[in-house]
Amino acid sequence: MEIVNIHDAKTNLSRLLKGVERGESFVIAKAGIPIAKVVPLDAPEQGQASRFGFMKGKIKVPDDFDRMGTNEINVLFSGLQ
């Protein structure tokens, strides 16, 4: 992530915002100390980034999922039918 001092941020704001449009973020620093982070509006909020389980209840895994394709796999790896 790019760290930019305040003066450079004011001078290059258009360029920096084009990067934000591409999904990049940057930090504005004052005397080398970070004071603000600029991120795209659609970036996940802190604590929201975890997407594990977001499809819960929307799909069904077949009961025989771990056995699906067993015959084909045996043929491919051992020549058995």
> Domain range holding 7?
1-40
Q: SS3 string of 34-63?
A: EEEEECCCCCCCCCCCCCCCCCCCCCCCCC
Does residue 29 lie within any of the structural domains? Answer: yes
**Rounded distance between C-alpha atoms, residue 71 and residue 57, angstroms:** 30
Does residue 72 sit within a domain? Answer: no
Per-residue confidence (pLDDT) for residue 47, from 0 to 100: 64
pTM of the model: 0.53
Query: What's the number of domains the chain is made of?
Result: 1
Choice between 53 and 73, residue whose per-residue pLDDT is larger: 73
Q: Residue 11: which CATH number? A: 3.40.1620.10
For the segment 13-57, what is each residue's pLDDT rounded down to a tens digit? 999 999 999 989 999 999 999 999 999 987 766 666 567 777 788
Does the pLDDT value for residue 75 go beyond 80? Answer: yes
With a cut of 90, say whether residue 11 has pLDDT above it.
Answer: yes
Question: Does pLDDT of 61 surpass 90?
Answer: no
